[in-house]
Amino acid sequence: MGTPQVVVGTGPVSPEDVVRVARDGWGVRLADEALAAVAASRDVVERLAGDDRPHYGVSTGFGALATRHIPVAQRAQLQRSLIRSHAAGSGPEVEREVVRALMLLRLSTLATGRTGVRPETACTYAALLDAGITPVVHEYGSLGCSGDLAPLSAVALAVMGEGTVRDAARVPRPAADALADAGVVPVQLAEKEGLALVNGTDGMLGMLLLALADLRRLLTTADVAAAMSVEALLGTDAVFAADLQALRPHPGQAASAANLRALLAGSGVMASHRGPECTRVQDAYSLRCAPQVHGAARDTLGHAAAVADRELAAAVDNPVITLDGRVESNGNFHGAPVGYVLDFLAIAVADVAGMSERRTDRFLDAARSHGLPPFLAHDAGVDSGHMIAQYTAAGIVSELKRLAVPASVDSIPSSAMQEDHVSMGWHAARKLRRAVDGLTRVLAIEVLTAARALDLRAPLAPAAATGAVRDLLRSAGVPGPGPDRHLAPEIEAVVELVSTGAVLTATSLSLS
């Protein structure tokens, strides 16, 4: 069988399809209904192109230059000039998965029939995705208004057979050569097409969708890490009771508490200090309030997902071709709705990571760890145990707090004050990607530390689920307690287990 394909119709692609194309290398094809819709709106543009009156994006310049009427003989040059001048990005190369996501999302908008491009132009986007050709897009260049202009222009440049791409083998090559080898004919852009290819929120939306996929896994992993910590620190699970959680009926909180109850079920460690003789009635907030913090993050994720779904259903372009055949300017390209939730998520990520690091720190302090050796060291003083692993987590958390400062409250006017308020949504997305990576690492350090502490509680047996996670680490080449070892490779091994979802799989539970 060949590479599976996502079929792009006139309706929205799904978040799952974006991940399939971006990360899993799925191909793309346009549905017949989409090709028909594209052709119909192109007919509108063709009629207007022959009109004596100026129509923005069809027979005028762009942005602050929109007052100039462009004669027919210069319109092809106008489109080429737009893309070449707007492909002005700089800085590090953006990840392949981000570029593929934004390409699919722009194609999905083209397929709505609201942009006025020709069918062959839309088909070329699908062909590039199918061939695994990824235009080189640079980190800086988008202000998140009038679309992710520079990133989308870099893609459009490749569609024209210009600029640099990476082929299916990830080798950088001139676009013309890579397209020729793949049998893809470069597009000679016609009226309206340049604007249609660059006026979208596709970059920031693509990064939002990828982050949502990651955070669904990571927030559940945070519950696993918290359960291991509550258990190994001899905390109480009584506070996670369903009736107590229902007194504050936030759905995310209820889901997190249910996970904690399931993860700790049958724990011999928990049973060892449960009963009237136990004098510990309240744990520290980082243990007791895990459902409240993790739950708030889950609810923030839910809000962000709802915004993403609405954005997936949007046809963002300026101007647009309306259903009754008008060509109308609009402001739908402004990235505020997406930029806000990207910033909200960065705040939630920083808080969940901060709580995780506090649980890790409790393991290492003999005054708070209830009988565990200082720093979980084999021979404290000779060995340092996990002392510096906590430093690593603390350093990441500090960085996450800086990344939580919202980008969407900033604005730098551009285009001779025509674009006098911009969203900075692309920048919000870029910092969220870094924050998601940081959360992955902080949770991995907590899981690593809690697993070592569970071993040190022997002969008390952990719960089946938490014990299975501990055993996963041991089978992945992360040894249990003992004299100091090179710790960085062990941290990276657990980072891999967290990022691939292996930690969640190991629990054998259907966690929400």
Give yes or no: 140 in active site: no
Closest by alpha carbon to 425, among 338, 332, 318, 330?
338
Supply 499's token pair: 């990022």
Exposure string over 251-261, b if 16+ CB within 10 A, otherwise e: ebbbbbbbbbb
Sheet strands (E) in 368-488: none
Angle between helix 425-456 and 464-475 (nearest 10): 100
Question: Collapsing DSSP states into helix, strand and coil, what is residue 46?
Answer: helix
> How far, in Å, CA of 148 to CA of 98, rounded?
12
Strand 5-8 versus strand 27-30 pairing type: parallel
Q: Which two tokens stand for residue 486?
A: 């090179």
User: DSSP string spanning 293-330?
Assistant: HHHHHHHHHHHHHHHHHHHHT----SSEE-TTS-EE--
C-alpha 66/C-alpha 57 separation (Å) is 8
Contacts of 271 (CB under 8 A, 6+ apart): none
Residues linked to residue 8 through DSSP beta bridges, in sequence order: 30
Maximum Cα–Cα distance across the chain:
91
Per 3-state DSSP, what percentage of the chain is helix, strand, and coil (rounded to 5)? 55, 5, 35
Active-site residues, by number, are: 56
